[in-house]
């Protein structure tokens, strides 16, 4: 990885690398594993009707840990309150489908879907009791929309994969909505 590679590019290469493990043969990497973009392809339907508020569900998709979190109304409102401390509050330099480039970084405000890998060096952040996500490796912090705070070494928001909402309680990973 070159010294001049941008932080966002490095982030995506790391995420792509993590996905490549499960993609099998490197020569057959599908598009999402080799492009500087958000992951797409290999559709996987997920039911989330039984997911309670505040409970983080992780599913494996193409070798990525994908998070699904149902946020409360108060948590959605709180996303506007600490944007001064964020690196990229409008997700201009972060990877997500166009439909998720909004404050809540999701197609539906209450349902958050993200790749659960820190954009610094790929550790797995945890859902913090204070709200948001904390990476245990070097203390990068993200809000509940996966937007990274300036206080840690990570410089890009969590990556949002392609997904679409198929029904009130069902989404399909890998396909744009
Ligand atoms: Fe998350 Fe370094 S890997 S802060």
Structural domain boundaries, residue 79: 44-173
- Specify whether 32 is located in the same domain as 92: no
CA-nearest residue for atom 4, ligand 1, is 138
* Residue 138 among the catalytic residues: yes
pLDDT at 74: 96
- The helix (run of H) or strand (run of E) holding residue 60 is strand 56-61
Choice among 31, 77, 136, 138 that is catalytic: 138
Question: Looking at ligand 1, which atom is closest to the CA of residue 123?
Answer: 3
> CA 92, CA 88: separation in Å to the nearest integer?
7
- Specify whether 99 is located in the same domain as 16: no
- Specify whether 161 is located in the same domain as 82: yes
Task: Give the pLDDT band (50/70/90) at residue 9.
Answer: very low
- Is the Cβ–Cβ distance between 78 and 61 less than 8 Å? no
> CA 109, CA 24: separation in Å to the nearest integer?
34
- Specify whether 99 is located in the same domain as 122: yes
Whole-number Å distance, alpha carbon 47 to ligand 1 midpoint, is: 30
Whole-number Å distance, alpha carbon 119 to ligand 1 midpoint, is: 7
Task: Give the pLDDT band (50/70/90) at residue 51.
Answer: very high
Looking at the structure of the chain, the number of domains it has is: 2
The alpha helices in the chain, defined as continuous H runs, are 7-23, 31-34, 73-78
| In the block, residue with structure tokens 């594993």 | 33
pLDDT at 32: 34
- Specify whether 30 is located in the same domain as 49: no
| pTM (global) more than 0.95 | no
Token pair recorded at residue 37: 């973009």
CA nearest to 91, candidates 72, 105, 112: 105
């Amino acid at each position: 990885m070159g010294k001049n590679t941008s932080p966002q590019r490095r982030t995506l290469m790391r995420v792509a690398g993590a996905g490549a493990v499960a993609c099998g043969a490197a020569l057959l990497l599908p598009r999402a594993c080799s492009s500087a973009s958000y992951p797409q392809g290999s559709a996987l339907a997920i039911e989330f009707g039984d997911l309670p508020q505040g409970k983080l569900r992780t599913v494996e998709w193409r070798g990525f840990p994908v998070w699904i979190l149902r946020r409360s109304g108060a948590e959605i409102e709180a996303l506007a309150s600490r944007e001064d401390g964020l690196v990229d509050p409008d997700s201009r330099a972060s990877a997500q489908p166009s439909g998720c480039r909004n404050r809540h970084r999701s197609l539906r405000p209450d349902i958050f879907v993200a790749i659960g890998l820190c954009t610094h060096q790929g550790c797995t952040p945890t859902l913090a009791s204070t709200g948001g996500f904390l990476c245990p490796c070097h203390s990068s912090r993200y809000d509940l929309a996966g937007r990274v705070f300036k206080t840690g070494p990570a410089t890009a928001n969590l990556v949002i994969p392609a997904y679409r909402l198929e029904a009130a309680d069902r989404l399909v990973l890998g396909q744009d909505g």
